[in-house]
């Protein structure tokens, strides 16, 4: 096949299968696919069956290789503990994914805040600018992990200096469970008031019968477990125990 015209004709009649899943690094459809029609693109052959004349190609692989090369270069510019401003591009129930230059980073839900976070979407939205600290770089996989809460001091670090067992404080009810209520004392610090510590008269009272979310209540700290980051508080300890009064009357 030495004739150039014959070679050109041969090239024109070769067809290959390009699945929509291999068009881009992210799912695309509709008008995004239409824009690629009749447009020269670079692809990689991912499967070749000479016997049947079947060829499968991927544009995604070409884009991924290029992106990985660019990412590897950018990774040389950053290091663990660096603080950068990234853009949120994806959110799910367990993490927030951000982009810094051409690097994609993951911030696990546990690294968003020292406070309890039900869903990452409660704190951030797609497109938000998020300042983060880089906490891990895996150069073998080009994966980067980051943290928002690492930007501030751990509120449990000197908690025993700010709060004393047996003293009364005020906080805001942040959530209510069957077994008790969580009370926010300060940003990143929540304490549990167990149902048995709500009322002197009823040890099994339902917390929802007494408290409501966002309500400010008084409480007395009964235990500080710094190692496990837990505070136990009592609401009933802020009030006189009526049973003690009954005992005094019976003595009379």
Tens of pLDDT, residue by residue over 82-112, are 999 999 999 999 999 999 988 889 999 999 9
232 closest CA partner among 185, 199, 187, 200: 185
8 alpha-carbon distance from chain centroid: 53
205 closest CA partner among 176, 184, 233: 176
Q: Concatenate the DSSP letters of all residues of 153-217 into one string.
A: --TTTTHHHH--TT-EEEEEEEEE-SSEEEEEEETTEEEEEEGGGT-SS-TT--HHHH--TT-EE
> Pick the residue with more confidence: 117 or 237?
237
Q: Is 250's pLDDT higher than 90?
A: no
> Which of the residue ranges 32-41, 84-93, 229-238 would you say has the lowest mean pLDDT?
32-41
Q: Is 251's pLDDT higher than 80?
A: no
Q: Quick one: average pLDDT of 6-33? A: 74
pLDDT of residue 49: 85
pLDDT of residue 173: 97
Read off the tokens for 219: 């409480």
Backbone angles phi, psi at 218, to 5 degrees: -95, 150
Q: Quick one: average pLDDT of 145-150? A: 96
Q: Is 252's pLDDT higher than 70?
A: no
Alpha helix ranges (H) inside 76-175 = 159-162
Q: Is 134's pLDDT higher than 90?
A: yes
Q: Quick one: average pLDDT of 187-214? A: 95
Count of alpha carbons within 13 angstroms of residue 96, beta-carbon side? 30
pLDDT band at 21 (very low <50, low <70, confident <90, very high): confident
pLDDT of residue 11: 55
pLDDT band at 53 (very low <50, low <70, confident <90, very high): confident
What is the average pLDDT value for the chain, to the nearest integer?
Answer: 88
190 bridge partner residues: 184
96 closest CA partner among 120, 74, 79: 120
Please classify residue 245 by burial: count the beta carbons closer than 10 Å to its beta carbon, then call 0-12 exposed, 13-18 middle and 19+ buried.
exposed
pLDDT band at 218 (very low <50, low <70, confident <90, very high): very high
231 closest CA partner among 174, 150, 149, 178: 174
The answer to whether 201 and 233 have CB atoms below 8 angstroms apart is no
Q: Is 219's pLDDT higher than 60?
A: yes
* Contact partners, residue 248, CB within 8 Å, separation at least 6: none
Q: Quick one: average pLDDT of 130-157? A: 92
> Pick the residue with more confidence: 12 or 213?
213
* Contact partners, residue 154, CB within 8 Å, separation at least 6: 114, 188
């Amino acid at each position: 096949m030495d004739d150039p015209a014959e070679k050109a004709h041969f090239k024109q009649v070769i067809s290959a299968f390009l699945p929509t899943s291999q068009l881009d690094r992210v799912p695309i459809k509709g008008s995004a696919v239409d824009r690629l029609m009749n447009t020269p693109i670079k692809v990689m052959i991912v499967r070749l069956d000479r016997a049947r004349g079947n060829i499968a190609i991927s544009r995604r692989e070409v884009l991924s290789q290029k992106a990985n090369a660019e990412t590897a270069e950018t990774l040389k510019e950053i290091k663990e503990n660096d603080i950068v401003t990234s853009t949120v591009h994806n959110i799910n129930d367990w993490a927030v994914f951000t982009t810094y230059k051409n690097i994609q980073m993951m911030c696990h839900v546990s690294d968003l805040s020292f406070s309890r976070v039900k869903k990452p979407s409660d704190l951030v939205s797609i497109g938000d600018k998020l300042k983060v600290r880089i906490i891990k770089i895996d150069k073998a996989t080009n994966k980067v992990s980051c943290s928002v809460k690492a930007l501030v001091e751990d509120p449990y670090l000197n908690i025993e200096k700010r709060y004393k067992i047996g003293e009364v404080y005020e906080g805001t009810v942040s959530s209510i469970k069957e077994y008790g209520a969580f009370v926010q004392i300060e940003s990143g610090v929540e304490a549990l008031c167990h149902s048995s510590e709500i009322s002197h008269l009823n040890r099994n009272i339902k917390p929802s019968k007494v408290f409501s979310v966002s309500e400010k209540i008084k409480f007395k700290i009964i235990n500080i477990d710094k190692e496990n980051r837990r505070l136990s508080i009592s609401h009933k300890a802020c009030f006189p125990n009526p049973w003690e009064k009954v005992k005094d009357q019976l003595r009379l």
